[in-house]
Amino acid sequence: MIHSFIILANFALFIFLLSFFDKYKRQKSQVKFAFENVLGTVNLASFFFLSVGLLYLDLNVNQQFIWLLLIFIAAVTALTFSSLKIWQVAEGKGVWYLSVILLITVEFFWLINLLPISVYSKGAVLTIIYYLILGLGRHYLIFGWGGFSSRIVWRYLIIGAFGVTFLLLSSRW
How many distinct structural domains can be found in the chain? 1
77/101 Cα distance (integer angstroms) = 9
| Range of the structural domain that residue 119 is part of | 2-170
pLDDT in tens, the chain (173 residues): 556 666 666 676 666 666 656 555 555 555 456 667 777 788 888 889 889 888 888 888 877 888 888 989 999 988 888 888 777 776 777 788 888 889 999 999 999 988 888 888 899 999 999 999 988 888 877 777 777 778 888 888 898 898 888 888 887 76
Instruction: Judge contact between 51 and 118, C-beta under 8 A.
Output: no
